[in-house]
Amino acid sequence: MRMNAGIEALAFYTPGFSLGLEALARHRRQDPQKYITGLGQQRMSVPPPDEDVVTMAANAAARALEGCDLSSLDSIIFATESGVDQSKAAAIYVHQLIGLPTTCKAFEIKQACCGSTAALQMAQALVTLRPDKRVLIVASDVARYGLGTAGEPTQGAGAMAILVSATPKLLSFDPESGSYTEDVMDFWRPNYMDEALVDGKYSIKIYLKALSESWNGYHADSGRRFEDFTRFCYHLPFTRMAEKAHRHLARITGHGELTHADLETHLRPSLRYNQVTGNSYTASLYVGLISLLETDPIDLTGKRIGLFSYGSGCMATYFSGVVVEGYREHLRADQHQRMLGDRIELTVPEYERFYEHRLPVTGEDYATTVHTCGKFRIAGIRNHKRIYEQVSDLSEPMPAASGVATLSRV
Ligand code: HMG
């Protein structure tokens, strides 16, 4: 039987520093249970001054491409809402850093957290037309709100890379989907700001409305029902959002109130990684998918997964895929879990120093200090150009993160 286009390889990367939300809550004079139980978050990843969306994406991409015949790559598509240039695509920096062939196209795509899903659907269409080609999707973001704001505990950072091909080894996508677009101001980031602006409660309402609408479109397109799915993945701004969304989906599809046990079975494995990385915008849904495939105790072969992608502003898509036989042999659970476990824990003042660091915006040359735990770093700015460098060989394990002692030099 011919399989639909899907995911041949999948990897994610998150910086080597994190902040515990209990420590943040105490510092901000909040009840830690608000962040831990109320939002469902335990930690958030914090990027050091020499990492950005390009270096994070390059780290994820290098992992996803291990063993891939690079000459089959048609394009690398970079989804982000933390772009580093108004003109040049971040994809071109990654293209160079990971040594892609000059025949491989490179471009950027944007619609908040949903840009990665738009890229994925373009890639599916392309490899369906040209089954000899592959497309690499990278999605990378730093979720940033103001210090001390309600959004602060929902920050995070990370990147994912998905290799899309006509010979999927992990997930084969169903061709049907449902989408919803509406011009709303629930979350946005003007060009003159480093932090997102958000109408938090309204963003949750719109997320749920977009879920209903895109589910209805998906159901009309596919005829599938809630009970046709074994597991569900949602865009994860914070993990309690998935619980709200899943309860909502059950209600609108006539399944009433779900039990705690239903939620644990349907959702829990997809939440584990995001619970300790925080929001990574475009990457977030797919970090959830990786978490599901790598931590679910049951063999998911042949099982259908429902996926909901939401991007503020807003555009949303409901789509689905079926897990491919032998998928467990192609996962990177050890690598990912080691990366999460090895992160250096920051104190709140250390996190704030990282947070406050900015590359200069006035045009002077600048060199960043070395912190990264990844294979790539931004070394600085020279003649208005971002200078990236490779820290270690792609075949070597990730280098250790530099100690927080160097933080005073940030
Ligand atoms: P808030 O208003 O400070 O929090 O900010 P709250 O008062 O709503 O409390 C949060 C939860 O904690 C509530 O649970 C409280 O009851 C509970 P709920 O009632 O909702 O079930 N709580 C407690 N639980 C246990 N013990 C306690 C306690 N106290 C309270 N002591 C908000 C929350 C999410 C609004 C804020 O963090 C925010 O604005 N975050 C950013 C926006 C966001 O993440 N929106 C999500 C939907 S939009 C989206 O996903 C797109 C996005 O990723 C961007 C993109 O697309 O690019 C953001």
255-289 per-position pLDDT tens digit? 999 999 999 999 999 999 999 999 999 999 999 99
Q: How far is CA 310 from CA 158, 277, 375, in A?
A: 17, 18, 30
pLDDT score, position 395: 76
pLDDT score, position 400: 58
Distance 297 CA to ligand 1 centre (A): 29
- Asked whether the beta carbons of 242 and 270 are under 8 A apart, the reply is yes
Phi, psi of 87 (to 5 degrees): -120, -55
Burial state string for 232-249 with b = 16 or more CB within 10 A and e = fewer than 16: bbbbbbbbbbbbbbbbbb
Residue 163, beta-bridge partner list: 9, 136
Atom of ligand 1 nearest to the CA of 204: 47
Which 8-state DSSP code applies to residue 111? B
Q: Would you tell me the crossing angle of helices 284-295 and 260-271 to the nearest 10 degrees?
A: 110
pLDDT score, position 1: 55
Mean pLDDT of 116-130: 97
pLDDT score, position 236: 98
Query: In which band, very low, low, confident or very high, does the pLDDT at 407 lie, cut at 50, 70 and 90?
Result: very low
pLDDT score, position 392: 87
Distance 39 CA to ligand 1 centre (A): 6
Please tell me if the CB atom of residue 13 comes closer than 6 angstroms to any atom of ligand 1.
no
Between 294 and 372, name the one with better pLDDT.
Answer: 294
Total residues belonging to the chain: 410
* Structure token digits, residue 32: 């830690």
Mean pLDDT of 8-24: 98
Decide the pairing of beta strands 366-367 and 376-382: antiparallel
- Asked whether the beta carbons of 35 and 21 are under 8 A apart, the reply is yes
Please tell me if the CB atom of residue 167 comes closer than 6 angstroms to any atom of ligand 1.
no
- Distance between CA atoms of 179 and 177, rounded to whole angstroms? 7
Most informative mutation of 24, 149, 202, 203 for ligand 1 (most atoms within 8 A of CB) = 203
Distance 304 CA to ligand 1 centre (A): 29
User: Which is the catalytic residue, given 8, 51, 81, 108?
Assistant: 81
Please tell me if the CB atom of residue 327 comes closer than 6 angstroms to any atom of ligand 1.
no
Q: Tell me the pLDDT of the chain averaged across its residues.
A: 95
pLDDT score, position 393: 84
Q: Tell me which residue has its CA closest to atom 38 in ligand 1.
A: 151
Between 410 and 208, name the one with better pLDDT.
Answer: 208
Please tell me if the CB atom of residue 35 comes closer than 6 angstroms to any atom of ligand 1.
no
One-letter identity of residue 362: T
pLDDT score, position 405: 38
Please tell me if the CB atom of residue 203 comes closer than 6 angstroms to any atom of ligand 1.
yes
* Structure token digits, residue 351: 């996190």
- Distance between CA atoms of 29 and 23, rounded to whole angstroms? 10
Distance 331 CA to ligand 1 centre (A): 32
pTM over 0.85: yes
Dihedral angle computed from the Cα positions of residues 182, 188, 189 and 194, in that order, rounded to the nearest 10 degrees = -150
